[in-house]
Chain A
Amino acid sequence: DTAVSQTPKYLVTQMGNDKSIKCEQNLGHDTMYWYKQDSKKFLKIMFSYNNKELIINETVPNRFSPKSPDKAHLNLHINSLELGDSAVYFCASSQDYTSGNEQFFGPGTRLTVL
């Protein structure tokens, strides 16, 4: 059983297109996150949601819009893709957003913008 799953695993697209990445967790966690890992493997948080409500929104361009239809899902929609958006995007979840509970990461989605 996969705890945190993401689709697709690979995404290759042209500049200017709009794309979405889906994330689902079956751990019963309340909090979900999106992270971006750049080509140098640097990991940075983008968003966090708790029970479908936005908690953290880092300085991410408005072209990125997360959507949480329920607490088990957090999708990431990206408009007008740019070359600099190429990265690996990780979804993660944790029991809640205030304690030191472990964050469980998904396998990642490698986005390549041509």
Chain B
Amino acid sequence: QQQVKQSPQSLIVQKGGISIINCAYENTAFDYFPWYQQFPGKGPALLIAIRPDVSEKKEGRFTISFNKSAKQFSLHIMDSQPGDSATYFCAADRLGSARQLTFGSGTQLTVLP
């Protein structure tokens, strides 16, 4: 049972364009939603995270939009750059208990120069 569904599986964007990756979750107990970025041969690294008390969080070119009623959240990468080419994972977790990050299936982003 996949508790966090991520789409698309792959995404190709032109340099300067907007990359959008979507995730949906099922467990309403989730209250922490991070996004991780993984380059080939490396471990995932935290990019940005949001808690459900806000609907949007922005850090530089990266923005998370969160819709609690729809149980969906998305990552927007503005002015996408070739250096953003990586695999992006959304995840969900429950704070205040033994942490158990549940990851989405990943999105392979390619930004063309």
In the assembled complex, which residues on chain A have CB atoms less than 8 Å from the CB atom of B42? 107-108
Contact B98 A56 (CB under 8 A): yes
Measured CB to CB, the nearest residue on chain A to B31 is A100
Indicate if the CB atoms of B99 and A43 lie closer than 8 Å: no
Considering the chains assembled together, what is the distance between the CA atoms of A97 and B93 in angstroms?
11
- B56-64, B74-82, B100-108 - the one binding chain A: B100-108
CB distance from A53 to the nearest CB of B (A): 11
Complex Cα spacing A114 to B97, Å: 39
Bound Cα distance from A51 to B97, whole angstroms = 16
Q: Which residue of A lies closest to B46 (CB)?
A: A102
The tally of residues in B whose CB lies under 8 Å from a CB in A reads 25
| Residues B32 and A43 in contact, CB atoms below 8 Å apart | no
Distance A13 CA – B55 CA, assembled complex (angstroms): 48
Q: Complex formed: what's the CA distance from A103 to B46 in Å?
A: 7
Quick one: given A42-B103, A100-B51, are A90 and B44 in contact (CB under 8 Å)? yes
The verdict on B89 contacting chain A, using a C-beta distance below 8 Å, is yes
Checking A31, A40, A90, A105 against B99 with a beta-carbon cut-off of 8 angstroms, the contacting residue is A31
B97: chain A residues at CB < 8 Å are 98
In the bound assembly, the distance between CA atoms of A79 and B43 in angstroms comes to 24
Rounded to whole angstroms, the CA-CA distance of A93 and B98 in the bound complex is: 13
Q: Whole-angstrom distance between the alpha carbons of A99 and B46 in the complex?
A: 15
Nearest B residue to A91, CB-CB: B43
- Considering the chains assembled together, what is the distance between the CA atoms of A94 and B99 in angstroms? 10
B18 within 8 Å of A by Cβ? no
B106 to chain A: which residues have CB within 8 Å? 40-43
**B113 part of interface (Cβ distance < 8 Å):** no
Cβ-defined partner of B43 (8 Å) among A31, A56, A90, A98: A90
Cβ-defined contact, B101 with A45, below 8 A: yes
Q: How far is the CB of B105 from chain A (nearest CB, A)?
A: 6
**Of listed A102, A103, A104, A105, residue having the most chain B CB within 10 A:** A103
> Please, which residues of chain A bring their CB within 8 A of the CB of B96?
98-99
Is A92 close to B, CB under 8 A? yes
A residues within 8 Å of B by Cβ? Answer: 4, 31, 40-45, 48, 55-56, 90, 92, 94, 97-100, 102-108
